[in-house]
Amino acid sequence: MIQEELESRGIVTASLTMLPEITVKVGPSRALTVPYPLGYPLGAPNDEALQLAILKEMLKLCERTDVPVLEEWVL
């Protein structure tokens, strides 16, 4: 996975996922799971407030050093 290669080079990464059971198997350093159906991981199109909130939460994971971490985002 690209995320693993970037992390090995000192570049902090975070993933966004709708399939936590698969994400656990892949094992990225940091991932945020969102409860949206396939095709809409950031909520409805043009919902800027919701999309920004999700992205901010994902970026907060970049501060974490206790990896691997899989956080669940809830409304």
pLDDT in tens, 6-52: 999 999 999 999 889 999 999 999 999 998 765 676 777 888 888 89
Instruction: Domain ranges for the chain, please list them.
Output: 2-72
Q: In 1-75, where does DSSP find H-type helix?
A: 2-8, 20-26, 48-60
Contact 33, 57 (CB under 8 A): no
Q: What is the pLDDT of residue 39?
A: 63
Q: Which two tokens stand for residue 10?
A: 């000192």
Q: Is the pTM value of this prediction over 0.75?
A: yes
Confidence of residue 66 (pLDDT cuts 50, 70, 90): very high
